[in-house]
Structure 1
Amino acid sequence: MTTCGDLAELVRAPAALSVPGDALVGAAATGDLSTRAVTRTAGLAAASVCLYWAGMAANDWADRDLDAAERPHRPIPSGRVRPGDAFGLAVGLTAAGCVLAGFSGGRSAAATASVLAGTVWAYDVALKGTVVGPAAMAACRGLDVLLGASAGRMRRAALPALTIAAHTYTVTALSRYEVHGASRGLPAATLIATAAVTTLATAPARGQSSRRLLTGAFAAGYAALYGAPQLRAAAEPSAANVRRAVGAGITSLPALQGTLAAGLGMPGAAAALALAAAVGRRLAARTAVT
């Protein structure tokens, strides 16, 4: 009998803490800080979580045969969740995410959510194992940021979307080697890319020195959280070290989002995202996020 814990494992529930920050950063980039905008952003963040969980369920449904050989402990190959139930959950969460986005943000948000949902499914069922797989997953995260900005001038969210997408590309590139290990060159390359992402994330910080200092502090925290495991993986690129780096990439994303939020003049949101990163790391020790 399938339990709530089995479903939480299927959708990588703790990893969802990395999702609401996308919508928050996208909304912050538009400059609209009204009460209505806060309510709208909360709804769009919830829609993003639904689409993220849908993607996780669809991922395991699509990979059920491969997981039977490589990850037999996962919910579907272990028999704890039936493939049909996982597929149905993925479809239901996708529909819920798109409807919630439209209800919260109107036609523009519904359209953006639909494109995001299509990209998620395309990655899971067709693109994951191809050369464009990491780029497709990066596009999903970039679109998630744009979903948060969909009620305003979306082009203002281009830099934050690019920053989050670049980070996601590195995590996805590493994740392909978390079962069998990687060459030393891959984690070394993603580490260099992480340094570039850290620099890019500080770009929105202008004006007050206090804002620049806070943004720099968040950026340093992100670089340490994600960089250290990559450095260990570069020294010894075993499957275990690569998995740790992938997990760190997922759980450190709120710290990157916090860096962007601080640079955009939202220190309270940045602090909340930093807390989400800490909670996510704690939960990840109990429930798998990769």
Structure 2
Amino acid sequence: MSSEIRPSAQAWAELLRLPALFTVPGDALAGAAAAGTSPNRRTFLAIGSSLCLYEAGMALNDWADRAEDAVERPHRPLPSRRVSPGAALAAAGGLTCAGLALAARAGRPALAVAGTLATTVWAYDLGLKRTAAGPTAMAAARGLDLMLGAAATVPGGRWRTALPSATVLGAHTLAVTAVSRRETQGGSSLAPLAALSATVLLAWTAGRTTGRTTGRTTPELPAGRRTASALRLPGSSSSASMGAAAPSRRAVATGTVATGTATAAAVATGTATDRTATDRTATDRTATDRTATAGIAATKTAANRTATVLQGVLSAAYAATAARPLFHAVLNPSPPLTQRAVGGGIRAMIPLQAALAARGGGLRSALLTAALAPAARAFARNVSVT
């Protein structure tokens, strides 16, 4: 029998960096909110696609870095032989195919974005990572992940409105990736200082209020007023002509003429009464519409205020999560503190995604994303995110 030990769940958890998975769903949720739409079934297909592509990148990253990790991080799953290189490469390929299949079920726009994302991930791991374009490629991948959620959720070209949020998330990723390039060597305060400055700027940007979907209103004519216009009867001149034509042309008796005149007067009186009743009904409907409109406006105003408060809290949480370890790395750019700064930057993506979701008016998406932060911290105690 072979004495080879089969890979353990712990080894695969380290290879795939499972705690970092909690930073992925917020991309799609923030993308849907930025596009002005609530999450739907296709949004969750996009989340599944993002999770698969993210894990494919993690496995491929260790496969590509196995020689370097053998020297600098021999405890990693591949150098320590707890996972074979072939298994890691097979996992990367299988997860990529699964991610593209899920995106295809969400629609052609989602598949197009997912295909671009997968290409970027593989290009980064297999070559771009060691070039000056590495941080930019990683930033593009994270921005595309947010755009994947928008493209899957909304029809047509409306998903492109998520581009500003994708830019903010990409800028944060760029700063963190620049710091991570020296996490095993340390010795430079420049990258942590630049990332710290970027964090402050991005926190301010994510905390700014913009036009939210929850606060948008489209003015239109009240239904009661439209009903009154549609139901208004002809004017008095037309009614008079109808009454005048009612008597017979050959009627010569005085009683017949008098009867025709009385009938015409009764018709005119009835018409006036009906018009008055209709106007009263239209007035009542207009008042009801105004009350309903005021109630809707008040509800939207309250939702906007709640979103503004939540957005500010989440932006502050993002700044606190990312800035503190970066500040320590600026003062002492040793490998342990630099790695801690990278880990803090990865975990800070969750409150940043939640702030961007709140910025787009997605209160539920923001709360759901923020709820992932405690789980990420709990899992990070046993498995490193870097």
When the two structures are superposed, what TM-score results if normalisation uses the length of structure 2? 0.72
- Counterpart position of 1:39: 41
- Counterpart position of 1:289: 385
- Counterpart position of 1:74: 76
Letter in 2 for 1:235: L
What's the secondary structure of 1:128's corresponding residue? helix
Matches within 5 A, 1:60-71: 60-71=62-73
- Whether 1:22 and 2:27 are equivalent positions in the alignment is yes
1:50 touches 1:94 (CA, 8 Å); kept in 2? yes
Task: Quote the Cα distance in structure 2 between the aligned partners of 1:47 and 1:93.
Answer: 9
Letter in 1 for 2:128: L
Task: Quote the Cα distance in structure 2 between the aligned partners of 1:106 and 1:210.
Answer: 33
Task: Quote the Cα distance in structure 2 between the aligned partners of 1:170 and 1:81.
Answer: 31
- Counterpart position of 1:170: 175
- Whether 1:194 and 2:199 are equivalent positions in the alignment is yes
What's the secondary structure of 2:382's corresponding residue? coil
Task: Quote the Cα distance in structure 2 between the aligned partners of 1:132 and 1:115.
Answer: 17
What's the secondary structure of 2:127's corresponding residue? helix
Letter in 1 for 2:310: L
Letter in 2 for 1:85: A
1:205 touches 1:215 (CA, 8 Å); kept in 2? no
- Give how far 1:205 is off: 4.0
- Whether 1:135 and 2:136 are equivalent positions in the alignment is yes
- Give how far 1:182 is off: 3.4
- Counterpart position of 2:257: none
- Whether 1:5 and 2:101 are equivalent positions in the alignment is no
Q: 1:272 aligns with which of 368, 371, 378?
A: 368
- Counterpart position of 2:243: none
Matches within 5 A, 1:96-175: 96-103=98-105, 105-151=106-152, 152=154, 153-175=158-180
Task: Quote the Cα distance in structure 1 between the aligned partners of 2:312 and 2:356.
Answer: 10
- Give how far 1:245 is off: 0.6
2:36 touches 2:361 (CA, 8 Å); kept in 1? no
The 10-residue stretch of structure 1 (268-277 or 139-148) with the greater mean CA deviation from structure 2: 268-277
Task: Quote the Cα distance in structure 2 between the aligned partners of 1:39 and 1:204.
Answer: 28
- Counterpart position of 2:237: none
CA deviation string 1:173-192 (max 9, x = no partner): 11111101131222111100
2:34 touches 2:356 (CA, 8 Å); kept in 1? no
- Whether 1:95 and 2:100 are equivalent positions in the alignment is no
Gaps of 5+ in 1: none
- Give how far 1:47 is off: 0.6
Task: Quote the Cα distance in structure 1 between the aligned partners of 2:366 and 2:159.
Answer: 21
Task: Quote the Cα distance in structure 1 between the aligned partners of 2:53 and 2:336.
Answer: 28
Matches within 5 A, 1:219-258: 219-258=315-354
What's the secondary structure of 2:79's corresponding residue? coil
Letter in 1 for 2:141: C
Task: Quote the Cα distance in structure 2 between the aligned partners of 1:4 and 1:240.
Answer: 26
Task: Quote the Cα distance in structure 2 between the aligned partners of 1:142 and 1:189.
Answer: 20
Task: Quote the Cα distance in structure 1 between the aligned partners of 2:128 and 2:326.
Answer: 25
- Give how far 1:43 is off: 1.1
CA deviation string 1:245-271 (max 9, x = no partner): 100111121110011111112222212
1:178 touches 1:239 (CA, 8 Å); kept in 2? yes
2:209 touches 2:308 (CA, 8 Å); kept in 1? no
- Counterpart position of 1:48: 50
What's the secondary structure of 2:317's corresponding residue? helix
Q: 1:57 aligns with which of 59, 67, 70?
A: 59
Task: Quote the Cα distance in structure 2 between the aligned partners of 1:97 and 1:209.
Answer: 37
What's the secondary structure of 1:150's corresponding residue? helix
Task: Quote the Cα distance in structure 2 between the aligned partners of 1:225 and 1:96.
Answer: 32
Task: Quote the Cα distance in structure 2 between the aligned partners of 1:203 and 1:119.
Answer: 30
Task: Quote the Cα distance in structure 2 between the aligned partners of 1:44 and 1:253.
Answer: 18
What's the secondary structure of 1:131's corresponding residue? coil
- Give how far 1:66 is off: 0.4
- Give how far 1:204 is off: 5.0
Aligned-residue CA RMSD (Å)? 1.2
Task: Quote the Cα distance in structure 2 between the aligned partners of 1:25 and 1:169.
Answer: 18
Task: Quote the Cα distance in structure 2 between the aligned partners of 1:232 and 1:22.
Answer: 28
1:22 touches 1:148 (CA, 8 Å); kept in 2? yes
Q: Rg bigger for which structure?
A: 2
Higher relative contact order (CA 8 A, sep 6+): 2
Per the alignment, do residues 93 and 164 of structure 1 end up closer, same or farther by CA in structure 2, a change over 3 Å counting?
A: same
What's the secondary structure of 2:184's corresponding residue? coil
Task: Quote the Cα distance in structure 2 between the aligned partners of 1:160 and 1:231.
Answer: 25
